[in-house]
Chain A
Amino acid sequence: MTAAVPPALRAQRRRRTARTVAFLSPWLIGFAVFFAYPLGATVYYSFTRYDLINPPEWVGLQNWRYVFRDYPYLDKALRNTLWLVAIMVPVRVLFGLGVGMIAVRLRRGANLFRTLCYLPFLAPPVAATIGFVFLLNPATGPFDQFLAGLGLGDVGWFNDPQWAKPALTVLAVWGVGDLMVIFVAALVDVPREQYEAAQLDGAGAWQRFRYVTWPAITPIVLFAVVTGVIQTMQYYTQAMVAGKVASGIVGAPGQSFEPGYPDGSTLTLPQLVYEEGFSTFDTGAASVLSLILFGIAMTVTALLMRRRAGLLGDD
């Protein structure tokens, strides 16, 4: 037999629940407005024909069939995204870690070094991308003229399908200041006495890194990888701007520009979402592409998080 809860206690519990909800409300409202509703609406629109002018019309699985069976750009965008995740993200993390390690070891000029390495991250992405396209221009760019002076031949960079993604990776590495900062913070947190003890035990530089530094910074590496993967899934501005500037087709009124120049080598899923949604005004297909992007990002993140325990070790 359960004793009845006294009214005073019930009121106290209600107040406590209300207080909890009140504290949570900013997040709850944000979650509902910026995540739950858009996600629900995207799922709904993926089953409709919606041109942004007339009311949505239910078409069942037509948009899904179109995207998976008839849409020619999905494979290309997925392959490019996979390349960027597999190459650009690790290169960026390794480079950020390397620069961070140099920054913490420098005895003189460390602040200047950190500032110089961080500054490119502050450059607006559009301006930085335009600058890189001009620097790496195969006909007039100083970098190619330098390579030609060394007898290293022509590299097409943003104008060559083989080199466009490596060129974007160079651009991403140039702006690695954000990762450098968090790696510096992680590296200075590693207890000095552990290095001293390892040194006394005769550990070399690699062993000190492997058995002292790495275990201490693994959570930060994981953070850098997860956020890097998510950012790469959303990769849009640099790829779009580089394609436009290198192709010479700026997309002014009256011009039709195909994203992914050259030959679809810089095409990413977010560009397709924009093109279908706001250039062709096919909101249904754009919603399907968005959900594919969402599904991939969630799956990759979940896999990485499941590997978290292994990466973090027994502790």
Chain B
Amino acid sequence: MHRPRFRRSRRLTAVLASTAAAVLLAASCSGSSEGTGADDDPGKKATITFWHGWSQDHEVEAINQLIAKFNATHPNITVKATPNVTDDKLVQGVRSKNGPDVVSSFTTDNVGQFCSSGGWVDLAPFLAKSGIDPAATFPKATLDYTQFQGKRCALPFLADAYGLYYNKDMFAAAGITAPPKTMSEFKATAAKLQQYNPDGSIKVAGVMPTFHGYEFTPAHAMAQWGPSYVGPDGKSNLATDPRPEQFLTYHKELVDALGGFDKLEKFRSGFGDEFSAQNPFQVGQVAMQLDGEWRTASIAEEAPDLKYGTAPLPVPDDQADKYGRGYLTGTVIGIAKSSHRQAAAWEFVKFLTTDTDAVNAFAATIHNVPTTFAALASTPLANDEHFKPFLDIFKSPHSNTTPASINGGKYQVTFQEFCYGWEAGRVPDLKAGLAGVDRQIDADTAQAGR
């Protein structure tokens, strides 16, 4: 009597166990999204949308090639890419019910907003499920700028490193043999390279140091001083940290050494568009320029005869041991809260950010810095004499970026506006002015606090 029941029970257990095993097997094969919040099956046919900021033809073509590569291994997922998307369009899309699945931003400024608002979903469960250890995959600097207060809502999708471009012909004509390494050398070199017209106006600038001089923004240039921006109490500390004051004092001296603000600004107003063949460095209007690594691709395409070199931007004289550092930022990528196909979206994000061949191919095409250890070790860009210094800047432990904030880049805009006033001579007391900037940034942060 008991045996049949026992047998039935064992049979039932065996059936249940095999069913469970089959379910688990199926789940692991299909990459079930358990624990990630995603409710779609990445093994099923799906169409996802990808919003990105690239707009130039060769960049859009490179994205399309990446998608084609992805489709070779994921034929069930169709990716529709939308180019030239800025962050404001991104947020408007994320909040809609039919917004994008995969989202990317050219700036790390808004990561704090994306993470804290939940607009971009937490990627930690996806990484864990895929067995990816972020610390073993991505360099620390990129991990820092893709999270906010411990929440990882983005991954690095190629990085930007900022350094010095210099015109070798102009250097040779001025008898300068090597790029400057300290800020005092930088000022002397720039002054030596500067050329004037007979009427006293600038003919060629040694460097365009005013803060509207394209990439010569306060954030990019001040990175050489290694500022902290935020104190241990979480409040803005531009006035208490001595480095912003040192930076701005030096900057004023540099502007004065190159003819003064008015003369420089008048010269700058005649510059062509930054992202065109009329870029002032490419056409010889400036002898040196602070710029990102992507400029190497533009020069190769638009000014192939230009003889130029690249190097890290100089550091303050009292921080000579930090030479090699630079400002870092990069494109960040994530999954939108609005996505109904988050598991499929993750497959695409994982491919773009961790597939070594994909990362290297895209980095080589658009001349950006690859963002995984594996890709950095094998990138063909290391053989490019112009690009290699940017890889070194990226690897420098002293390189830094601007911290993520709950209200995006608003604190940078506030500081930037103050810097415009400072360089134009409208700020009588630098220390008091910086204290005012701190108060404003703290008030803005409190307004955004949730």
Residues of A within 8 A of B (CB): 49, 51-54, 57, 62-63, 66, 70, 72, 137-140, 154, 156, 159, 246-256, 258, 261, 263-264, 278-282, 285
Contacts and interface: CB of A to CB of B under 8 A. Distances in A.
B53 interface: yes
Interface stretch (B66-74, B170-178, B269-277): B269-277
B88 A154 contact: no
Across the A-B interface, give the 8 residue pairs with the lowest CB-CB distance, nearest first.
Answer: A139-B270, A253-B53, A254-B106, A253-B106, A70-B443, A278-B88, A53-B119, A140-B270
Given A53-B118, A247-B212, A282-B447, A256 B95 contact: no
Interface in B53-77: 53, 55
B120 to A, nearest CB: 9
Nearest to A159: B269
Contacts of A72: 414, 440
B86 A251 contact: yes
Contact of B109 (A57, A66, A156, A256): A256
A247 B113 CA distance: 27
A72 B443 CA distance: 10
Nearest to A259: B413
Interface in B26-47: none
A135 B285 CA distance: 21
A249 B269 CA distance: 11
Given A53-B337, A54-B118, A263-B421, A282 B407 contact: yes
B337 to A, nearest CB: 7
Interface of B: 53, 55, 84-88, 91-92, 94-95, 105-107, 109, 113, 117-119, 212-214, 217, 265-271, 273-275, 329, 337, 407-410, 412-414, 416-417, 420-421, 424, 426, 440, 443-444, 447-448, 450
User: Which among A51, A253, A254 has the greatest number of chain B C-beta atoms within 10 A?
Assistant: A253
B95 A154 contact: no
B449 to A, nearest CB: 9
A159 B265 contact: yes
A52 B95 contact: yes
A137 B117 contact: no
Contact of A54 (B117, B268, B409, B412): B117
Contacts of B88: 278-279
A258 B417 contact: yes
A51 B269 contact: no
Contacts of B426: 263
B443 A66 contact: yes
A263 B105 contact: no
Contacts of B413: 256, 258
B96 to A, nearest CB: 10
